[in-house]
Amino acid sequence: MDNTILVDNILKSLGGIDNIAKVENCMTRLRIDVIDDSKTDIEAIKKLPGVVGVVEAGTYKQIVVGPGKSTKLASIAKSKIGEPQLGDWKSNKNAIKNEQKQNKFKSGLKVIGEIFIPLLPAIIAAGILNGLSGLIANLQVTNSLPAAGAWEIIRQMFALIGGSFLGYFAIFTGINAARQFGATLALGGMLGAMSIMPGINGISALFGWYNEEVPLDSILTTGKGGVIGIIIGVWILAKVEKAVRKIMPDVLDLIFTPMITLIITTVVFVFAIMPASGVVSDGLVASLSVLINSSSPVVNIISGYVLAALFLPMVLLGLHHGLIPIYAIQLEQMGGVSLFPVLAMAGAGQVGAAIAIYFKARKVKNTNLVQIISGALPAGILGIGEPLIYGVTLPLGKPFITAGLGAGFGGAYVMLTHVMASAWGPSGIVAIPLMMPGSILNFTIGILISYIGGFVATQFLMKSEDLEKI
């Protein structure tokens, strides 16, 4: 189906253009907020050619269409809708009621996703280039590459590009958080910038909170609280800005509202939010470190297996975006991300399960299923697992479970070998360049183990006869 026709059908099934409040997209999903949920027909959307599945959370709809396609469909939809629709008072009333019915936890995860999803292309590009810069540096140390000349120029250019984003990740987070909470974007960026400025250490030292010997153990230090603190801080910033603007005369608004807002918010942010969120982020890192740095192989194997095996259900429910702050905290405090490589094994387990189903489907001459897998498998190998989830393993039921069981073995290996990534992004083979140079081989082995695990588990637990009825 033509992309324009597909968008027209999706919008029609969501109640028409006047019922659309907002359209965004991530790598594989068209993300749409509707005004009145009662006007939507989700079953009709699921039947459209090109739609892999739909995830609902009240008025928030995630329509899975696959990599690349989501960006094109979002662009077409935005051109048709124009400015966000506010609707009449009745529609607004329905939208508020529908929003109130949503699970608060899921609503929070939605906000986190909308803060970080737009940053994903930069996160991936910066991570890969930083990894390549590190690889060149390691080869230079061993004299495999010259330490000067063209290779050094390339290394420094890669480091420059990667550092331009990852070094100022807090600022980008602040800007996107301000967009979500309705604050002035520049003020959100300023709050993020404050958290990484050296002046924080000077203020901390004045109050005796700074530990010069071990800065990370300080009550308050540069970067304390990470993205958790920034998100909370910008949320408060939005509340303060709206309150100040209400009482500020129009003629003075441009000058005094930003200044007063920043003064009030900065005091709260520096002296309360950063130290408190620092305790939370330190606790998260410490908890993960118990698993990652455990001297017991048994702990590594069990934790890696469980984490990888349970990740697919999180993706199904759209909860995986809630892990992004943990990735960011690990990157800030540990210089690398250990959780992402383990969870990335879930997609590889699903690939193995799909390959097993492919051979069984060919055996019973289920050409429709063979065709579906042939189309979805390349995306799965590249790390985009949703076409396989919604097109193959989830509809069949049992393979969705066997994929997780098989992925667990890869997760156990990755955790046991302490694989670390320099960023996060899609799983699969495209994640290999995101790994730190010393972890590339073990991550690749982990993917192969997950392929085999998913294949074997599905081969033994799924019968060919089960595919004849589909």
CA–centroid distance for 53 within its chain: 19
Q: Is 26 a catalytic residue?
A: yes
Residues in the chain: 470
390 in Cβ contact with 345 (< 8 Å): no
Alpha carbon distance 104, 147 (integer Å): 54
Print the SS3 string covering the chain: CCHHHHHHHHHHHCCCHHHEEEEEECCCEEEEEECCHHHCCHHHHHCCCCCCEEEEECCEEEEECCCCHHHHHHHHHHHHHCCCCCCCHHHHHHHHHHHHHCCHHHHHHHHHHHHHHHHHHHHHHHHHHHHHHHHHHHHHHCCCCCCCCHHHHHHHHHHHHHHHHHCCHHHHHHHHHHHHHCCCHHHHHHHHHHHCCCHHHHHHHHCCCCCCCCHHHCCCCCCCCHHHHHHHHHHHHHHHHHHHHHHCCHHHHHHHHHHHHHHHHHHHHHHHHHHHHHHHHHHHHHHHHHHHCCCCHHHHHHHHHHHHHHHHHHHHCCCHHHHHHHHHHHHHHHCCECHHHHHCHHHHHHHHHHHHHHHHHHHCCCHHHHHHHHHHHHHHHCCCCHHHHHHHHHHHCHHHHHHHHHHHHHHHHHHHCCCCECCCCCCHHHHHHHECHHHHHHHHHHHHHHHHHHHHHHHHHCCHHHHCCC
Write down the catalytic residue from 7, 10, 11, 26. 26
Beta bridge partners of 63: 30, 54
Alpha carbon distance 320, 312 (integer Å): 9
Amino acid at 343: L
Q: Do strands 29-34 and 53-57 pair parallel, antiparallel, or not at all (unpaired)?
A: unpaired
Amino acid at 90: K
Active site residues: 26
